[in-house]
Structure 1
Amino acid sequence: MHRLLLALLVASSALLSGSAVAASRAGTNVGGQSKAVSLHGKDLDTMRTMACSQYGVDVATMQPAKRWTYGKGFAPEIEVAVRCAPHATVNDRPAHYNVVCRRDDDQPAGDWQCLGWEAIVVPTTIGDISVEPGPYSHEFATRTIHEALDSSLFRRDVRDALPTGCRLASNWDGSGQEVAELSCASGHRFLFSFFCPQGKTHCPRLMTATSPGP
């Protein structure tokens, strides 16, 4: 049963393009157009004090704000991406949160909603790799990166993708420990199975890879 379900998942995943992964990272920005804008006054003050406060640290860096428009009937949004100061040490490297804050352009200044993802660094033979563990533990995320590099499959894709930064997500609702997806900023996607009937050696197992389009 495990093998049948995994085969069905792999087959359906192969139909998705690499752009779908990039779109999932952007969230509500799919289909929108953006332009750079400047933050002033209350917006800027709120961003500096609120974006990382839930993690008990200050803002380390802030990217230029963007104004997203989606066409008639949809309110424009202002979006800011923030990197928080380190909050912990994982793998002898500082860990931090990446935060995206948004507000409707017609809402009062300072009325932001923020969502963050923890990012850790995994030391490897090809350098330090940044990865967002998502629903998984630091140990799982670290092991997944090492298993990707140790696998004999898709070696070129793995070495092209990992240095760009990646994130882990559960690909199959209700089975987060069964199949995980590693999506990278390069546009590559990798599926890993945590079902390892032969033991924990080389587990999770790298199963499939999807390269970005031309």
Structure 2
Amino acid sequence: MAEAEAGVNDLMGKLEVLFELFLYVCLILETSTSKKTRRSKEDKCIVHILLLRSGVESNPGPKTWIAEIPPEMPAADDDIAYLSKYIGKGWQNLGRKLGLGPATLDHIEHDFHQGGMRDQIYHMLLKVKAPPLEATLKNILETLDIIEAEFSITVEWSELSLRFKQEKILALQAENKELKTENQELKDKLASRKRNRRARKRCSKDGDAPTGVKMIKHK
């Protein structure tokens, strides 16, 4: 009996040691994991700060829908009017980046101050789209996207995308479709004329007048 109790006590002692070892291992693993998690969070935080400082996160490059606008598409007057409605403070920096000099921008601010900021932006954009600068719609939007964060320009992209993301692309597709139809009509006319010339040549070789002439003579 005494030997049995001694065996049980010995087993319990070993189990307690194993349990303590298990707790110790768990504690080590938890500490290691928490350090990795903390380090990972710190790394992410550092990257986040660097991105903010570099302006990458707040301005991740050209909007995808801007990239889809054909580079040669001009900015129509109604496009300019719409743009001027959804661009705010800092618009002078957009004018500078698009090629306008400081004096020109000063004159625009002075000459159109009574019409307010929207009128000033409108005439600034008219200047950059006119010769010699000739900025296209894509030039304006890409430049605005690139410098927005750097100069804290106020832009309502959601409103601009409503107009330019689909409307311009669909309009261009419709125009291309119309041109293709006109080209096909011209091709059909040319093919018809070629067939008529060939028919006349065959008739002249055979010594016969065209069918239409024969009918008139017969009558």
Provide TM-score, normalisation by structure 1. 0.21
1 or 2, which has the higher strand percentage? 1
1 or 2, which has the higher helix percentage? 2
Larger RCO (CA within 8 A; separation ≥ 6): 2
Of the two, which has the highest radius of gyration?
Answer: 2
